[in-house]
Structure 1
């Protein structure tokens, strides 16, 4: 009987603890949501550029020469409108794996959305990846990269995966043409989800967060002014609504075409 009595009281104590602290659990879950997609989805893939090249030269997301250097180099990819999402899908990362066992290994390649491929293979409604020649060939069994590229379009499976830019923090590139009345920013090296759902800016002399508008790709802008720096920038991810705030990341004496790196990232 004593054992039964203790078990009942231990159960009541456990319930009491859960009830007391349950209010904290949702916040913990929200602050560290899983972006990993464990399910593979069917799609098709092609490649472009030179056979062993990096693929995109700039691209519709606006990353410019970043696609030519590490950590993006040879991992860039153009996607059909269903994944490009009018530019809001820019920066998202996917694992892509070839389905032909005669030529392909089971190894998936990780690609970063940097471009859009409208029409043709990428017609609206299709889920399609147009990969760099290097990324496409990397899906093949060693020595079969050329044969796989000769296939042209192939069947693949894909899933969402966290972006990882080791040693990098989120950076904000001030686009050419920006002024105190029209400020345009490009977001670089966003870990984890990679995509952006909303973006706000705060001036040094204000507590108000001003909403920026999505222009195209990974570029956002605000028309107001005169705007006074330094500026804090707040970004919210598209997929799980996580928020990151970079305080005074853009200095008072900012200049167009300059890039300003924050001290933090999502992971």
Structure 2
């Protein structure tokens, strides 16, 4: 899966996808290789190691469903259409990257692709290379609170980039803001994927507003004092909240 930061004016397809209500859409899926069969730390969503190991490495790159990065972190149930080779329930995967294949919406990790197959049928399924699938968006369930990781591109105290992790339910994070006295809510830029950044952040514990969509409803949540004044690059901070 390539780390291509390409931005497209997609029309929201979520209503057609069905949000876990039984409405499956048809597509195609393939896989990419990695030494341990999991994801890649260089994915376009900006997740780093999280994008390699989350959901036991059962992750995927997507094309249309990437949605300018707001599709990062979404969960999908993907079912292979070769009934003789594939499990009926398919596999639940998390979007951690952008990628295009041969008319495919999903480029699965080998760990995820193998879970499409019936017992002892994975090798035969891999031989197909590309398979017809149907997919449906389903809620993410981690059983933990939302984390905000300080991305490695950050440079204390002059430049801050944040990556939300463990976002549950059907919510898509679409914007982030930081409060600054005398200026109000300063919008953060979506740098790429799901990485939001801002130059010269306030030199105090940060008050952050996360804006997110649940289906067609726009919501927001204010996160107080999760990111300390002396924040550190690479650290994931517990927000003590969960949005869904």
Using the size of structure 1 for normalisation, the TM-score is: 0.77
Secondary structure at the counterpart of residue 51 of structure 2? helix
Within the candidate set 169, 174, 182, 2:150 is matched to 174
1:233, CA displacement in angstroms?
Answer: 1.6
> For residues 247 and 226 of structure 1, what CA distance do their matches in structure 2 show?
15
- Cα distance in 2 for partners of 1:52, 1:105 equals 23
**1:169 deviation in Å?**
1.0
Give the counterpart of 1:83 among 41, 46, 65: 65
- Residue 211 of structure 1 corresponds to which residue in structure 2? 187
Query: What are the residue-to-residue correspondences of 1:59-74 with 2, within 5 Å?
Result: 59-69=43-53, 71-74=54-57
Residues 199-219 of structure 1 show CA distances to partners (whole Å, capped at 9, x for unaligned) of 11124x568221111110110
Counterparts of 1:177-256 in structure 2, within 5 Å, are: 177-203=154-180, 205=181, 208-223=184-199, 225=200, 227-238=202-213, 239=215, 240-256=217-233
Deviation at 1:153, TM superposition (A): 0.3
**Displacement of 1:252:** 1.5
Shift of 1:257: 2.1
Q: CA deviation at 1:251?
A: 0.8
Take 1:214 and 1:61, find their aligned partners in 2: how far apart are those partners?
11
In the alignment, the residues of structure 2 paired with residue 106 and residue 206 of structure 1 have an alpha-carbon distance, to the nearest angstrom, of 57
SS in 1 for 2:87: coil
CA RMSD of aligned residues (A): 2.2
| Higher relative strand content | 2
Give how far 1:94 is off.
Answer: 0.7
Residues 67 and 73, structure 1, Cα contact 8 Å, conserved in 2: no
- Higher mean displacement: 134-143 or 226-235: 226-235
What secondary structure, in the 3-state scheme, does the structure 2 residue paired with 1:192 have? coil
Structure 1 residue 45, shift from structure 2 partner: 0.3
- Length-normalised TM-score, structure 2: 0.83
1:153-205 residue CA offsets vs partner (Å, 9 max, x unmatched): 00000011111112x211111123334342211111111125311111124x5
User: Distance in 2 between the 1:153 and 1:127 partners?
Assistant: 8
Q: Which runs of 5+ in 2 are unaligned?
A: 1-17
* Counterpart-to-counterpart distance in 2, 1:108 and 1:185: 33
Instruction: Identify unmatched segments of 5+ residues in structure 1.
Output: 1-33
Native 8 Å contact 1:42 1:157 kept in 2:
yes
Q: Work out which of the two has the higher radius of gyration on C-alpha atoms and give 1 or 2.
A: 1
Cα separation, partners in 2 of 1:255 and 1:111, compared to 1, 3 Å: same
Question: Equivalent residue for 2:38?
Answer: 54
> Residue 152 of structure 1 is aligned with which of 129, 141, 146?
129
Structure 1 residues 226 and 192, CA gap change in structure 2 (3 angstroms): closer
Query: How far has the Cα of 1:52 moved from its partner?
Result: 7.0
